Amino acid sequence: MQFNTYTYAGAHIAVWLVNHPGSGAPEIAGTLYRYDVHEPAATATEIQALRPWVQRLREVFEAGTVTEKAQLADELLVASDCHARLVSHGSGLPFHFHYAPVRAGLVPRVKALTAAGLAHVIDDGAGSRLRACSRVGCGTVFIDTSRNGRRHFCSVRCANQVNVANHRRRRREALAR
């Protein structure tokens, strides 16, 4: 599956926000800058305003079916008042999508960008790839970019912990027989 980094930037930002809930303004601004978000500077007040939104983003990753993910993403699009626009930041620069005007401020732009990013993933038929780690107690979310789309763990470490625990359980059960 081909993952367009610009179209999916909002989804990657959503992953980062969900996985780093206690981050402050400098960290969030740095992440937004890495994904080419125009004027990414964030204040503590803006970061606080994003906290409830981050929980809503998590719900998309944790939903059980693609239909549920799509419904939640659609609700995010509505709540963020997302309106796609073609924008160029100067003469000769290419046009690209903005989902909220820059003058709207950082919070509405992040909300619209993350909602649109998740919607793009689902629209491209990859909604099942928006996942939360299957290791009990982990809580990390990710976009499964593997070739076959069958990853269930956020990292090799989580996968190994589950596999070792399952192996030890099976071994104990075999010895108990």
User: What number of residues does the chain have?
Assistant: 177
CATH code of the domain containing 118:
1.10.3300.10
Q: How many CA atoms lie within 13 A of 61 on its CB side?
A: 28
Interhelix angle 25-34/44-62, nearest 10 degrees? 60
d(C-alpha 15, C-alpha 57), whole Å: 8
Q: Is residue 169 part of a domain?
A: no
Q: Is residue 173 part of a domain?
A: no
Q: Is residue 160 part of a domain?
A: no
Which residues form the domain of 25?
A: 9-129
120-122-123 Cα angle (round to 5)? 60
Q: Is residue 51 part of a domain?
A: yes
Q: Can you give the pTM of this predicted structure?
A: 0.88
Q: Is residue 92 part of a domain?
A: yes
Q: Is residue 19 part of a domain?
A: yes
Question: Model confidence over 81-109: pLDDT tens digits?
Answer: 999 888 887 778 888 888 988 788 899 99
Q: Is residue 119 part of a domain?
A: yes
Q: Is residue 152 part of a domain?
A: no
Contacts (Cβ under 8 Å, ≥6 apart) of 44: 24, 25
Provide the pLDDT for residue 71.
98
What total of structural domains would you count in the chain? 1
Question: Model confidence over 44-67: pLDDT tens digits?
Answer: 999 999 999 999 999 999 999 999
Question: Model confidence over 1-57: pLDDT tens digits?
Answer: 555 556 789 999 999 999 999 899 999 999 999 988 878 888 999 999 999 999 999
